[in-house]
């Protein structure tokens, strides 16, 4: 599932390519799973709207919509799920299997939502979407510490709790924890303020680095231009089970925390 850096990369790429364009017509497929709003609500909200801005909120892509009569107060919200993609195509391009939405743009292009596994979601709203938790790239060190100082959950599980901190997933939780030197099974409330400060800094640093690298292409992730990301070559923990730690050469260990495969260094992380 794309995490914050991948979704940020996709949203930025879409903004550069479609911001200012207008949706002339909307086609929706027959599968109900991707529709968090009704098909009628999605069609009526999108048709005739201008794509004023595309941005990321947590793991969601948010299209701010405007029209001749209304400012950008309506929103089209896309969650990519595990396999969802937003493709900018021409009408002549073959329509991929598992296409669930086609928005025909005034420029003559089409914006298509394709999702083979149908875990992605499409929604429209009249009010501002803020996401379920705090924004990892904006939260202060003090507020970050407050999120976890009473939690009895393992710190890895707490980082994955989208109601606390939205946008962080399995990859970047592992990568932040190894950079902060904290074991993923440590109870969140057991971390000292110094350790929480290190984790806050490590998480922000790894997210910014991953955005700069275009995200991590582990499975089928590509950005809005169809290009793969490159941050996977900078991974220190995730996906490196059995390989030597890049710092101390101890083999990276793989365990399960909060139901997710988790990678850490038994020597560097305490």
Alpha carbon distance 20, 12 (integer Å): 14
H helix or E strand, kind and range, residue 210: helix 193-212
H helix or E strand, kind and range, residue 50: strand 50-57
| Residues 6+ away with beta carbon under 8 Å from 7 | 56, 58, 59, 60, 61, 80, 167
Q: Is 198 a catalytic residue?
A: no
CA dihedral for 19, 24, 29, 35, sign (positive or negative): positive
Q: Is 260 a catalytic residue?
A: yes
Q: Is 270 a catalytic residue?
A: no
Whole-angstrom CA distances from 66 to 51, 74, 188, 194, 261 are 7, 7, 43, 45, 42
Alpha carbon distance 243, 224 (integer Å): 32
- From the list 132, 251, 260, 266, the catalytic residue is 260
- From the list 56, 59, 112, 156, the catalytic residue is 59
Alpha carbon distance 175, 237 (integer Å): 6
Q: Tell me which residues are annotated as active site.
A: 2-3, 59, 260
């Amino acid at each position: 599932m794309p995490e914050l850096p991948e979704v940020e990369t996709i949203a930025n790429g879409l903004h550069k390519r479609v911001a200012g364009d207008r949706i002339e017509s909307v086609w929706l497929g027959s599968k109900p799973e991707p529709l968090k709003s009704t098909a009628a609500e999605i069609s009526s909200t999108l048709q005739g709207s201008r794509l004023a801005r595309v941005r990321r909120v947590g793991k969601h892509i948010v299209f701010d919509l405007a029209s001749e009569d209304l400012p950008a107060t309506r929103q089209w919200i896309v969650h990519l799920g595990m396999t969802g993609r937003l493709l900018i195509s021409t009408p002549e391009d073959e329509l991929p299997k598992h296409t669930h939405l086609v928005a025909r743009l005034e420029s003559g292009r089409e914006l298509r939502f394709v999702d083979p596994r149908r875990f992605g979601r499409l929604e429209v709203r009249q009010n501002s979407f803020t996401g379920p938790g705090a924004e990892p790239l904006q939260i202060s060190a003090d507020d970050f510490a407050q999120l976890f100082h009473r939690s009895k959950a393992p710190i890895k599980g707490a980082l994955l709790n989208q109601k606390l901190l939205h946008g962080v997933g399995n990859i970047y939780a592992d990568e932040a924890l190894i950079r902060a030197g904290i074991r993923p099974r440590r109870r969140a409330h057991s971390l000292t303020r110094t350790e929480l400060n290190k984790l806050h800094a490590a998480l922000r640093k790894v997210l910014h680095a991953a955005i700069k690298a275009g995200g991590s292409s582990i499975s089928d992730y590509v950005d809005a231009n169809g290009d793969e990301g490159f941050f996977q070559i900078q991974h220190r923990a995730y996906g490196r089970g059995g390989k030597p730690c890049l710092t101390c050469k101890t083999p990276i260990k793989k365990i399960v925390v909060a139901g997710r495969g988790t990678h850490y260094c038994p020597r560097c992380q305490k």
